[in-house]
Amino acid sequence: MSQVIRIPETLYKRLENYAQGFDTPANVIERVLNFYESNCSEESEITQEPQKGTIGEPSRLEIKYHPEAVDIFKKKLLENKQAFIRLFKDDGTTETKVWNASKFKPESDINNNLRSGYLRGWKTKGIYKAVVSINEKDIS
């Protein structure tokens, strides 16, 4: 017999990010549980301090690049001096920003630039994912 589980819209939106093809929410939850059960021992569950972060508060930040290889992305960023950043938030909203990288240099670090700029305070802003692309159409 199946059960009905009510979850906040923000959590549902987060689950959608892990769906593959025509996945159902149950399939996504099952994959998450399978991963958790195969990577966490019962002993560590009992002795481990509760993790900071609750539903609605991100515990890690995911950053994806287009093109995916960071060295290729950096090369294109140096050529174009501009990129687009799509921020995904816990409340289910997204926000697109234009990154003016006119001062970005070959020795500059992409992650440090993002984390000290657009992603500064990502936890308090409720940001859990950022997609960064040279072409705006790749983040839509």
- Burial class of 63 by CB neighbour count within 10 A (0 to 12, 13 to 18, 19+): middle
What whole-number distance in Å separates Cα of residue 140 and Cα of residue 136? Answer: 7
Query: Binning pLDDT at 50, 70 and 90, where does residue 59 land?
Result: low
Helices (H), 1-140: 9-16, 25-39, 42-47, 70-80, 110-116, 122-125
**Count of CB atoms within 10 A of residue 83's CB?**
24
| pLDDT over threshold 80, residue 52 | no
Name the more confident of 118 and 3. Answer: 118
Place of tokens 């994806």: 64
127-133 vs 62-66, strand pairing mode: parallel
Q: What is the pLDDT of residue 132?
A: 95
Put simply, whether the predicted model's pTM sits higher than 0.85 gets the answer no
Question: pLDDT over 70 for what percent of the chain?
Answer: 81
| Per-residue pLDDT tens digits for 16-46 | 877 777 778 887 887 777 766 666 644 433 3
| Per-residue pLDDT tens digits for 79-96 | 999 999 999 999 999 999
Give the residue from 61, 75, 63, 93 showing the smallest Cα distance to 134.
Answer: 75
